[in-house]
Structure 1
Amino acid sequence: MTEPAGPPTLRAFAASARLDRIPVATRSHRVWVALLCAVFLFELADLNTFAYVAPALKQHWGASVGSIGTVTAAAFLGMFVGALIGGRLADVLGRKWALTGSAICYSLFSLLSALSPNMATLGVLRVLTGVGLEAMTVVGLIYVAEMFPARMRGRYQALILGVGLIGIPMMSWFARFVVPTGADGWRWVFVLGAVGILAAAAMIRLLPESARWLDAHGHSESAAALVASLEAEARELTGEELPPVGDPPVAENPGRLRELIRGRYRSRTLLLSLAWIFGILGFYGFNAWVPTLLVEKGYDMVASLTYTAILSIGAVPGALLAWPLIDRWERKHTLLGIELVVVCLVLVYGFVASVPVILIAGFCITLLLQMQTAFLYTYTPEVFPTRLRGVGTGFTNGLGRLAGAGGGVLVAAIFQAWGYVSVFVYVAACMGLVGLLIAVFGVRTTGRSLETITRTDDGHASPVDSVL
């Protein structure tokens, strides 16, 4: 039996309180997870396509290292724009349409990349693909945060990321076989990246709008009907009545963008921006530079690529290993523990010149970096209110991508000035800062409703909002 609606002043947000007390992942939740896993699989596969085709472009088109670097950096700028646009559209048009639209966008531009006649055209298309890729990532994180009950949203973020990461070795091996087949073999890499459009088409039919977004935009009846169907599925699975509904959260005032930089959420915006900037700098400072740095250290190219391939195996289990931890202990404290271990391993990796150390420490670093990503993916959309969740998540994540555009230049400068070990000291410092910033200044989010996270019981800002 569906619970009666609350008083008129609270009815609009009753669906959020009902959603958080659902104790299991329902049949609908599992369908949504499958769709999101599929679209993230091809999103992460597409993210690395240009790196795999670059050698062929150099051989067949005469592309210079400089032009390849320019396209790579420009793609990060496209991701920055995509994060901003995707987050904003998610707040205005809804999570479902922003998610499916961005997935269609990156798929179409990837397909057009396969038809590129020259390097300039391909560069423009890769920037536009980056817009769609990052927009989809941002909105996907928001959707999981809003549509899964509080006690399980972290686990499903980790699962979706873990399955999505399979796309990287999938694309790598596909490129290994098709790129050498001829002058146009590389084009099929982009064709595979466009297959995500099939998952996007399925989402149009099977993915509902976020109940919390519906609540926030006055569609309370649609939100209540959606949550009621989930409640019925949960009762069927458990054979029991659901726990009592808590007090519905008080309806929020309409949000203004300036709140992110001038209002009560400015400290959270600053905190998450710094966390994403240092996180991206450290993540790509290690993963993107390991092959080159190993060669500079004296290993030959074959050994360098072999070691890197072995290290990459840790990515998928790393994200999946977040599953048993991410909803069990407070996220901000667990993240600090992960980052401190990463710091130690990165320093060992940089200071100890031994193949067993490179393989063991490097594998563990790769594993933990993806575990960290699962935590950041979960934590970021949790700290912003529904009315600002899209633009807040997009802005902070986007600043990290923007930093990534200059990160390669920074690593090169550090290496040239101070040598091999200095790069790993830099990476360790970045990762340590991510953990410390969130542990010291971040709000608690694990197991709490999104509405509770964004306000205290008396409606005032949480402690972090008065610290920074």
Structure 2
Amino acid sequence: MDIVDPPSSSPTTHSVSPSARLERLPRITRSHRVWIALLSFIYACDWADIFSLSYAMPAMRQTWQLSTTQIGAVTSCTFAGMAIGAVLGGRLSDKFGRRPTLIAGTIVFSVASILSALSPNYEVFIILRTLTGAGLQAVVGVVLVYVTEMFPRVSRGRYISLVIGLGSLGMPPMALAARIVVPAGPETWRWVFVFGGIGLLAVIFVPKLLPESVHWDETNGKTARTDQLVTTLEQHVIARTGSPLPAPAPAAPTTPQPMSNLFTARYRRRTVVLCVAMTFFLLGYYGFNNWVPTLLVDRGLTISAALTVTTVLSASPLAATLLALPITDRWERKRTCMVLCMLAAAAVTAFAYTHNYATLVVSGFLTQLFFVTTFQVLYAYLPENFPTALRGSGAGLANGVGRAAGIASGFITAAIVTVLGFAGAFGAAALFSTLAGLIIGTFGANTHNRNLDDVDGHQQSAVAKSSAASEPRTLERAAAPATPQHYSEPLDARRGRASDLGGPPRGTD
């Protein structure tokens, strides 16, 4: 069995980019599984906290005698925090690293959630929910970028779906807890936000179990620990498969870049497309989710009955994961997003106009199913559009602009409810979802099964030609016995692989 030599034993081990070696792995390792478990727990805390406001809002409205406009203001302030957290968290993760930003964001949203439970009035609560939103969205952005950068290219989409799906398991316990706690007393809704602080437990384990991103380390010159980590992962894969690894494609060199580069000719189109698509998608998604309990009560259901409906809907993300896993890496992600957005629009339209309780529950479940599945595919797609040095910033900006639209969404939905009522509010959500799907499906970049820094094919193919022209065959032959998994294909085959945008066959996970 061929085993990778330790980094110090052979200079040729360093001749190939660690990130390129990581992306070509045909399967994940037990280290990846540990990362999945930890990131999923963090994401579960995030999901639970995001929807805590929706579950508590009907009772809060009675405690503080809130108007529909004030409810919209709370929702909008949460989105304002998310917009700030998405942009700031993305940039901080590009500058200081994925791991420290993840830790800081988790602390912020957990502590702010606990303090929200102690709010003496509406005004203090709004400030704390803004801070909660900032921490939440900073964490979401880093989790998505981390999985994108640390998992093999042939399977990173399905593992983003898996993390989001496992994370969505935080919704049913929170919905069930709210169903039990909120109706128990006039201010027992406060406990819902205490539950949202459970993310502090994750802070204990992140420094010990989660290494820094290989792509980020490489871009910032920290190659020693990166090479050692990737070598260990390679050893685990070879030990499991008993076969040499496929040759990595030549990797484009990356260096830190200013955020303004997102608006240069190279990245401007994808930046604008993703920002606009995220704006419409999140207007539709949160226009549905944030208003379901409140509008069901306004339509005549009791608080308990409305929360029963949301508890049923909260089970849909698990089904969404089962739907997303086989399709996220199978087809071009932008077109998959378009189809899912159309299905969500159809389901939410049925929800808006039905007067039958059973149809209401079924159509609501399907709406959540397609919305969350879209989220899983879309969140795999966003980070792939930008190079390592701008990945956090680009994905964060797109998320941030979408969340900024959510600032207006609370007031938009409140105005629509006033004029058009229940059906109009959810009909608007269907329209927004349709627009998001058409924009991303028509104008989005193709990213299917491509290396992270080769979305448009130009940068990678240029590097491949340069590498192939400058690399002597004698070096390959000399290096082959020491590190066969790095050079297990002839040079001519590797030249061909550099421009093979279809990528290697899917590995077994």
Q: TM-score normalized by structure 2?
A: 0.82
1:176 is aligned to 179
Query: More deviation in 30-39 or 184-193?
Result: 184-193
Question: Distance between the aligned counterparts of 1:413 and 1:393, measured in 2?
Answer: 30
The answer to whether the 8 A contact 1:16-1:211 is kept is yes
1:465 is aligned to none
The answer to whether the 8 A contact 1:345-1:361 is kept is yes
Equivalent residue for 1:371, pick from 370, 373, 377: 373
User: Does structure 1 residue 74 correspond to structure 2 residue 77?
Assistant: yes
The answer to whether the 8 A contact 1:77-1:402 is kept is yes
Question: Distance between the aligned counterparts of 1:66 and 1:420, measured in 2?
Answer: 15
The answer to whether the 8 A contact 2:383-2:395 is kept is yes
Question: Distance between the aligned counterparts of 2:194 and 2:422, measured in 1?
Answer: 38
The answer to whether the 8 A contact 2:58-2:293 is kept is no
- Which structure 1 segments of 5+ residues have no match? 461-468
AA aligned opposite 1:251: P
Task: Write the deviation string for residues 14-53 of structure 1: whole angstroms up to 9, x where unpaired.
Answer: 1111011111120100000000011111111112223334
2:501 is aligned to none
CA shift at 1:282, angstroms?
Answer: 0.9
Question: Distance between the aligned counterparts of 1:113 and 1:235, measured in 2?
Answer: 50
1:464 is aligned to none
Equivalent residue for 1:155, pick from 140, 145, 158: 158
Equivalent residue for 1:134, pick from 133, 137, 146: 137
AA aligned opposite 1:15: P
CA shift at 1:389, angstroms?
Answer: 0.6
Equivalent residue for 1:22, pick from 25, 38, 60: 25
The answer to whether the 8 A contact 1:39-1:200 is kept is no
The answer to whether the 8 A contact 1:6-1:14 is kept is no
Q: Does the residue aligned with 2:160 lie in a helix, a strand or coil? A: helix
1:459–1:436 Cα change, 3 Å: farther
Q: Does the residue aligned with 2:153 lie in a helix, a strand or coil? A: coil
Aligned length: 456
Q: How does 1:269-308 map to 2 (within 5 A)?
A: 269-294=271-296, 304-308=306-310
Question: Distance between the aligned counterparts of 2:66 and 2:448, measured in 1?
Answer: 48
2:329 is aligned to 327
Question: Distance between the aligned counterparts of 2:449 and 2:364, measured in 1?
Answer: 32
AA aligned opposite 2:139: M
Query: More deviation in 255-264 or 268-277?
Result: 255-264
2:110 is aligned to 107
- Which structure 2 segments of 5+ residues have no match? 464-509
Question: Distance between the aligned counterparts of 2:300 and 2:120, measured in 1?
Answer: 38
CA shift at 1:355, angstroms?
Answer: 3.5
2:448 is aligned to 446
Question: Distance between the aligned counterparts of 1:372 and 1:106, measured in 2?
Answer: 25
CA shift at 1:339, angstroms?
Answer: 2.0
Equivalent residue for 1:166, pick from 161, 166, 169: 169
1:368–1:125 Cα change, 3 Å: same
Query: More deviation in 407-416 or 277-286?
Result: 407-416
CA shift at 1:150, angstroms?
Answer: 0.6
Equivalent residue for 2:44, pick from 38, 41, 46: 41
Q: Which has the larger radius of gyration?
A: 2
Q: How does 1:373-412 map to 2 (within 5 A)?
A: 373-412=375-414
CA shift at 1:351, angstroms?
Answer: 4.4
1:219 is aligned to 222
1:211–1:446 Cα change, 3 Å: same
Q: Percent identity?
A: 41
The answer to whether the 8 A contact 1:78-1:131 is kept is yes
Q: How does 1:313-324 map to 2 (within 5 A)?
A: 313-324=315-326
CA shift at 1:260, angstroms?
Answer: 1.6
2:467 is aligned to none
Question: Distance between the aligned counterparts of 2:186 and 2:357, measured in 1?
Answer: 36
Question: Distance between the aligned counterparts of 1:429 and 1:403, measured in 2?
Answer: 15
Query: More deviation in 353-362 or 334-343?
Result: 353-362
Equivalent residue for 2:261, pick from 241, 259, 262: 259
1:430 is aligned to 432
CA shift at 1:73, angstroms?
Answer: 1.8
CA shift at 1:288, angstroms?
Answer: 2.7
2:507 is aligned to none
Q: Does the residue aligned with 1:166 lie in a helix, a strand or coil? A: helix
The answer to whether the 8 A contact 2:344-2:433 is kept is yes
Equivalent residue for 2:194, pick from 187, 191, 195: 191
The answer to whether the 8 A contact 2:153-2:449 is kept is yes
